[in-house]
Amino acid sequence: MPKDIISRALSEGRNFLLEPEAKLLCAYYGIPVTKFKIARNLDEAKRFASEIGYPVVLKIVSPDVLHKTDVGAVIVNIKNEEELVRAYNTIMENVKKHKPNARIIGMIVQEFVPQSLEVIVGVSKDPQFGHAIMFGLGGIFVEVLKDVTFRILPITDKEAREMLREVKGYPLLKGYRGREPLDEDAIVDIMIKVSKMIEENPMISQLDLNPIIVYTKGAKVVDARIILET
């Protein structure tokens, strides 16, 4: 199954997997991802949103839009059908405005999961060392402070656990001043599964689970992107 998703993308001349494809691959390896469906039109979006249950999130699915927020193509916490219609039209307008020639495959409708600490797990391939896995806290921690840590793959449970403790923002995970600790085991589990995915699919040259939202119990990948070697 993973091979099918990857070979289809390559046969379509793409060196990357779109969010729904990347999430299918993650789900295959047991990585928890948000429930989702791909709507080809507004009527489908309405049907899928009520099947998944409000609140939902809408995002564009386009091979020409990899950073969806940058073009106003992610709308979260949509509470009812009226808001859904508005969000759908807004995203379509935003994409047409910023990327007039973007090919639009559809709209991903997914469950809106509660806010909590966001972390990032990434993989990149170094010509010398091979695949390396990165862990960091999301948002400003990674973008501004570069508070991240790396290991060469494959990794063990113990190494993944060490990585969490290496970032300066670790107290946010561990819990501080009476804040409940978040689920470190859930992140370690995702990292081990990522390690396995890369071992079995070495043609993946880059993977971004950005962000993974972490709770006191469990964690969920809300955005995933995979780049393939060509």
Of the candidates 155, 161, 136, the one whose C-alpha atom is nearest the C-alpha of residue 199 is: 155
**Site residues for ligand ADP per CB under 6 A:** 34, 57, 59, 67-69, 74, 76, 110-113, 118, 211, 222-223
Nearer to ligand ADP, 5 or 224 (CB): 224
Q: Does 118 bind Mg ion (CB under 5 A)?
A: no
**91: number of CA atoms within 13 Å, CB side?**
28
CA distance 110 to 216: 22
List C-alpha distances in Å: 113 to 120, 188, 226.
16, 20, 22
Binding partner of 88, given ligand ADP, Mg ion, none, CB within 5-8 angstroms per partner class: none
Three-state DSSP string of 87-98: HHHHHHHHHHHH
DSSP sequence for 59-78 = EEE-TT-SSTGGGT-EEEEE
DSSP at 106: E
Cβ proximity to ligand ADP, 57 vs 153, nearer residue: 57
Which of 91, 68, 62 lies closest to 78, judged by CA?
91
How many residues bind Mg ion (CB under 5 A)? The answer is: 2
Structural contact between residues 12 and 215, judged by C-beta atoms closer than 8 angstroms: no
110 binds, among Mg ion, ligand ADP, none (CB under 5 to 8 A by kind): ligand ADP
- Based on CB atoms, which residue is closest to ligand ADP, 122 or 211? 211
By CB under 5 A, tell whether 223 contacts Mg ion.
yes
Which residue lies nearest Mg ion, judged by its C-beta? 223
Instruction: Choose the contact partner of 226 out of Mg ion, ligand ADP, none; CB within 5 to 8 A by kind.
Output: none
Q: Six-digit token pair at 188?
A: 């370690």
From the CB of residue 121, how many other CB atoms can be counted at a distance below 10 Å?
25
Give the separation between CA 105 and CA 21, rounded to whole angstroms: 12
Of the pair 21, 118, the CB lying nearest ligand ADP is at 118
Residues 157-216 that bind Mg ion (CB under 5 A): 210
Is 64 or 157 the residue whose CB approaches ligand ADP more closely? Answer: 64
Least CB distance to ligand ADP at residue 69 (A):
3
Least distance to ligand ADP, CB of residue 76, Å: 5
Q: Which is nearer to ligand ADP, 153 or 173 (CB)?
A: 173
In the list Mg ion, ligand ADP, none, the entry touching 68 (Cβ below 5 to 8 angstroms by class) is ligand ADP
Binding of Mg ion by 19 (CB under 5 A) = no
Task: Note the residues at the interface with Mg ion (CB under 5 A).
Answer: 210, 223
